[in-house]
């Protein structure tokens, strides 16, 4: 066997052992949040009221509490009436978040913080003949931040509560709409160590 072949085999073994050690240190946490969504824009808030939001997510925990994750925020369409003529309209907001975070464990409790970036999709439809050609269908990036705590009654199951803030301003036409706001969330999830 040549020296080059031995070096390749040794490099491959070192790489496999490194990956094996890394994979054993990974925790996978799928979960689901449900809660109240607040929006700062007064006109949107008055027309559609504030509703609830679902947030399924998956996190990979590794190396001393660090985590990466992705979440999808979604809600049913909200229905309301706009303007002095009370024109029927619908509003929908959803987003895909990617984040980094840190989780600090204290016995059965864990405190966590997350920060990241989301791509949010905002849609408004007005049922009025003169504006039906002016559909609001807009996509915008947003900075997100979340803080909360988890309670682990057992090894694999956890309950959680969190406050999430989305910084989101869109400008589908000439005026800016501030869709920023807090989400007050409660949820549960599973934790699998590998």
Per residue of the chain (194 residues), what is the pLDDT tens digit?
566 666 666 676 666 555 555 555 788 999 999 999 998 888 777 777 778 999 999 999 887 789 999 999 998 877 777 766 677 777 788 999 999 999 998 989 999 999 999 999 988 777 666 655 556 667 888 999 999 999 999 888 999 999 999 998 887 666 777 888 999 999 999 998 87
Give the domain CATH number at 102: 2.40.160.20
124, with CB counted inside 10 A (0-12, 13-18, 19+), is buried
The predicted model scores a pTM of 0.79
Residue 22 domain flag: no
For 58-94, letters b (16+ CB in 10 Å) and e give ebebeeeeebebebebebeebebebeeeebebebbbb
Dist CA 39 CA 66 (whole Å): 30
The total domain count for the chain is: 1
Residue 8 domain flag: no
Residue 14 domain flag: no
């Amino acid at each position: 066997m040549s020296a080059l072949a031995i070096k390749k085999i040794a490099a491959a073994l070192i790489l496999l052992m490194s990956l094996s050690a890394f994979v054993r240190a990974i925790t996978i946490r799928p979960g689901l949040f449900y809660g109240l969504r607040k929006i700062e824009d007064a006109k949107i808030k008055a027309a559609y009221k504030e509703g609830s939001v679902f947030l399924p997510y998956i996190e990979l925990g590794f190396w001393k509490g660090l985590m990466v994750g992705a979440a999808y925020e979604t809600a049913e369409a909200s229905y309301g009436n706009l303007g002095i003529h009370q024109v029927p309209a619908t509003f929908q907001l959803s987003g895909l978040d990617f984040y980094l975070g840190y989780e600090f464990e204290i016995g059965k409790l864990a405190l966590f913080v997350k920060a990241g970036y989301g791509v949010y999709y905002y849609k408004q439809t007005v049922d009025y003949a003169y504006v039906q050609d002016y559909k609001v269908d807009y996509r915008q990036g947003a900075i997100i931040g979340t803080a909360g705590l988890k309670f682990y009654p057992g090894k694999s199951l956890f309950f959680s509560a969190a406050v999430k803030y989305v910084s989101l301003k869109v400008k589908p036409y000439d005026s800016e709409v501030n869709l920023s706001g807090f989400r007050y969330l409660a949820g549960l999830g599973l934790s699998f160590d590998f």
